[in-house]
Amino acid sequence: MFRTVRGYFSSDLAIDLGTANTLIYVRGKGVILNEPSVVAIRQEFGPRGNRTVLAVGAEAKKMLGRTPGSIQAIRPMKDGVIADFTVTGEMLKYFIRKVHEKRLFQPSPRIVICVPCGSTQVERRAIRESAISAGAREVYLIEEPMAAAIGADLPIAEPTGSMVLDVGGGTTEVGVISLGGIVYSHSLRIAGDKMDEAIINYVRRKYGILIGEATAERVKKEIGTAWPDGTLQEMEIKGRHIADGVPRSVTISSKEAYSALTECLSGIVTAIKKALEQTPPELAADIAEKGLVVAGGGALLKHLDHMLREETGLPIVITDDPLTCVVRGCGRALEETEKLSDVFVYE
């Protein structure tokens, strides 16, 4: 009963608990938090040393790959699901408190969280339990393609097919939606993280230099491209030479970045084609006419729409602000919980 009372003093939240970033939408306010899903933990010395949370979010991300032995910078989400239950709970608790600053009581909000459509029951339950351990009063789960479709303001309730591609940090989700339900969905674990890995591997193979995840991500964001458009961009990166063991710098071009990303991108294209094969013909016709809607941080990869258009033959629509599309969809589901109750999943 006390939780209910505390609920009056909490704002309901929609959370996109992503592998790379966690976004929080507060009811009536909009998206007010966008932080990396990273937690820095200090392990105290001694056999009974406690683990304390040192930093969460952007501050912790700066520590990634730069920590001493006593500190661990952890990404508690992996491939769209929880890899470290306790740390995820701590991270959620931190974020929930952060959006409830200057409140009288400890918050106990209702929370809508999106989950990958390919996640198992155990993984969904872990996410639910983690949110409850962070103080949630009620937890609703929504599948990411559905959240992306709602966030992109697609006509999900109408008898027309809409296809959504959400390229996130850990997973890429493809979904075909009609009449308020998911007709087909597929989740593949090729997304932003795998692209970073591909760049790391490429640089190591070609130049014999080991670079970190943060550097690889910078390469992807600055010169990464999904389609060679004739222009050439270059960027200097620094890393440790594998043979010499000393730091070296090397200049990498957008063409090389494209080569590095090709494999990941072809995986995504294959998933889209597979989804189109599995889609009923009437819905496929709708999709062929209207196009494929792309959301998620991966949509910001340069010329991704061009590449998808050429590979799939569909019109491609990049949503407005694709990074927050999913959390906005969760937020809208939260605002209209009664009307959109069918979109929630119950494990």
Partner 1 sequence: MDMPAPNAAPHPTPAPAPPGPGRSLGQARTDLGLSREDVARQLHLKPQHIVALEDDDYQSLPGATYVRGYLRSYAQLLGLSPEPILEAHARMIGGQQPAVLPSLSPPPQATSSHRHIRLTTYLVAAIVFGLALVWWQGGKPPPTPEIGRLDTRAPAPTGELMGPPGPLPDAAPAAPLTSADHAYMNTPAPLRGADPIVQPAAPANPPSPAPVGAAPVRAQLSLYVEQESWIEVRDGQQNRLLYESFPAGRTMMLEGIAPLYVFLGNADGVRVEFNGKPFDLAPHKRGQVARFALGAGAPAGAPR
Give CA–CA dist 74/76, Å, rounded.
6
Q: Integer distance in angstroms from the first to the last C-alpha of the chain?
A: 25
Q: Which of 104, 231, 243, 246 binds partner 1 (CB under 8 A)?
A: 104
Q: Tell me which residue of 171, 173, 174, 175 sits closest to 191, measured CA to CA.
A: 171
- Contact call for residue 328 and partner 1 (CB under 8 A): yes
Q: Which of 3, 51, 66, 103 binds partner 1 (CB under 8 A)?
A: 103
- Contact call for residue 127 and partner 1 (CB under 8 A): no
DSSP state of 183: E
Burial of 342 (0-12, 13-18, 19+ CB in 10 A): exposed
- Pick the closer one to partner 1 by CB: 9 or 344: 9
Structure tokens at 226: 């999904």
Single out the segment in contact with partner 1 by CB under 8 A; choices: 112-120, 134-142, 251-259, 286-294: 286-294
Least distance to partner 1 from the beta carbon of 71, Å? 36
Single out the segment in contact with partner 1 by CB under 8 A; choices: 6-14, 72-80, 166-174, 211-219: 6-14
Least distance to partner 1 from the beta carbon of 298, Å? 16
- Contact call for residue 155 and partner 1 (CB under 8 A): yes
Helix (H, G, I), strand (E, B) or coil at 245: coil
Q: Tell me which residue of 113, 116, 110, 121 sits closest to 347, measured CA to CA.
A: 121
- Contact call for residue 336 and partner 1 (CB under 8 A): yes
- Pick the closer one to partner 1 by CB: 1 or 104: 104
Least distance to partner 1 from the beta carbon of 321, Å? 8
Structure tokens at 93: 């608790």
Beta bridge partners of 24: 15, 33
Task: List Cβ neighbours of 294 (8 Å cut-off, separation of 6 or more).
Answer: 164, 165, 166, 167, 304, 305, 308, 316, 317, 318, 319, 322
- Contact call for residue 332 and partner 1 (CB under 8 A): yes
- Contact call for residue 243 and partner 1 (CB under 8 A): no
- Contact call for residue 193 and partner 1 (CB under 8 A): no
Tell me the site size for partner 1, rule CB under 8 A.
36
- Contact call for residue 289 and partner 1 (CB under 8 A): yes
For residue 282, which amino acid is it?
E
- Contact call for residue 316 and partner 1 (CB under 8 A): yes
Least distance to partner 1 from the beta carbon of 289, Å? 7
- Contact call for residue 138 and partner 1 (CB under 8 A): no
- H helical segments located in the chain: 2-7, 58-63, 85-99, 121-133, 144-151, 192-207, 213-223, 254-278, 281-290, 304-312, 325-335
Concatenated DSSP letters of 34-48:
EEES-EEEEE-SSTT
Q: Which of 23, 126, 152, 195 binds partner 1 (CB under 8 A)?
A: 152
- Contact call for residue 28 and partner 1 (CB under 8 A): yes
Using CB under 8 A as the criterion, which residues of the chain lie in contact with partner 1 when the complex forms?
8-12, 27-28, 30, 102-105, 151-155, 289-291, 293, 305, 309, 313-320, 328, 331-332, 335-336
